[in-house]
Amino acid sequence: MAKSNTGNKELLGKGIRSLLQNINEDLKTTEGNLKPQVVEQTTGVMRIALADIQVNPKNPRRDFDETALNELAASIKLHDIIQPLTVSKLANGKYQLIAGERRFRASKIAGLTDVPAYIRATNDQQLLELALLENLQREDLNAIEVALSYKRMMEELSYTQEQVAERMGKERSTVTNYLRLLKLPPDIQLAVRKNSISMGHARALINLENVDAQLYIFKEITEKGLNVRQTEDLVRKQAAVKEQAVKPTTKAELPPAFKRIEDNLASHFGTKVRLQHSKSGNGSITLEYYSLQELNKILELLNVNVS
């Protein structure tokens, strides 16, 4: 295991040495390394007034799901922004958004006045990559910080997961596992950042598709002090229970006409639909949804106003 870690550090070292050759001497120490204050400035987070941030007009993304934005805004009200925005400083003292427009818009809805952000003081991509590489060598980084650094490489340097893995001297699956942590609910991400739970716990939780199930087992971990093995066992049991619950019960086949109706409803609503029809002529239609966003979509299609 130690040999593998040494190999990774050697690969990382080669990447840093090749980049350092093209970095301005003013940014390096006499030993030839990047100055600590440069690394801190490039990778550190500052809070910036929302009113001082301008959206990049060249951003190709134009459409944002309003329901999803409102859900994110509700989360931000409770937990603040977990993943900082990235901005560059403009000549007029304002900032231009580089990455994180969805978070930026949701922060406005949430009523925030300032947000955490990485500040790109330069357009030099080599400097950013070098600062991220050096920052990732810190031993006190938690798994979420590592994941955010990988995400910045992909967002701001247009790297693929394979390229991030190559730069870091890691397996692609390792990079993928870190990035998956950013899909966990904010409560769990914060726990990882505070080292309240380990990456092993988080990796077990990410295997559950349902957020409620993730939060339920997270609560079990924190209240009962479950170790990673116990957490993995509980996740497997939870998944088995769900699989058993969704197994279709034995029932008579629907007549072809009603089966077509069931299929057409499923296509129309974009979700699983169960139609039950008895010989007496009565029956029921069940629509499944797996998130508030999906529920709102179904309500819109039904023209149901809940306000």
> Is pLDDT at 233 greater than 90 in this prediction?
yes
CA distance 130 to 134: 6
What confidence score (pLDDT) does residue 180 get? 93
Of 31, 40, 66, 101, the catalytic one is 101
Is residue 82 a contact partner of residue 116, using CB atoms and an 8 Å limit?
no
> Which is more confident, 70 or 221?
221
**Confidence band for 9, pLDDT divided at 50, 70 and 90:** very low
Q: How confident is the prediction for the chain on average, in pLDDT? A: 79
**Confidence band for 17, pLDDT divided at 50, 70 and 90:** low
All domains in the chain, ordered by first residue:
2-181 (3.90.1530.10), 184-245 (1.10.10.2830), 256-301 (no CATH)
Q: Give the CA angle between residues 33, 34, 38 to the nearest 5°.
A: 160
Distance of CA 19 to the CA centre of its chain: 29
> Which is more confident, 111 or 140?
111
Our answer to whether residue 232 is catalytic in this structure is no
User: Average pLDDT for residues 9-36, to the nearest whole number?
Assistant: 53
**Confidence band for 2, pLDDT divided at 50, 70 and 90:** very low
Question: Picking from 5-9, 14-18, 212-216, 240-244, which range would have the lowest pLDDT averaged per residue?
Answer: 5-9
CA distance 178 to 7: 20
What confidence score (pLDDT) does residue 24 get? 54
> Is pLDDT at 171 greater than 80 in this prediction?
yes
User: Average pLDDT for residues 227-249, to the nearest whole number?
Assistant: 77
Q: What crossing angle do the helices spanning 125-135 and 36-43 adopt, rounded to 10°?
A: 100
> Is pLDDT at 28 greater than 70 in this prediction?
no
> Which is more confident, 34 or 155?
155
What confidence score (pLDDT) does residue 169 get? 81
Question: Picking from 54-63, 155-164, 181-190, which range would have the lowest pLDDT averaged per residue?
Answer: 54-63
How would DSSP label each residue in 115-139? EEEEEE----HHHHHHHHHHHTT-T
**Confidence band for 202, pLDDT divided at 50, 70 and 90:** very high
What confidence score (pLDDT) does residue 11 get? 44
> Which is more confident, 140 or 295?
295
Residue 268 tokens, joined: 């129309």
What confidence score (pLDDT) does residue 307 get? 62
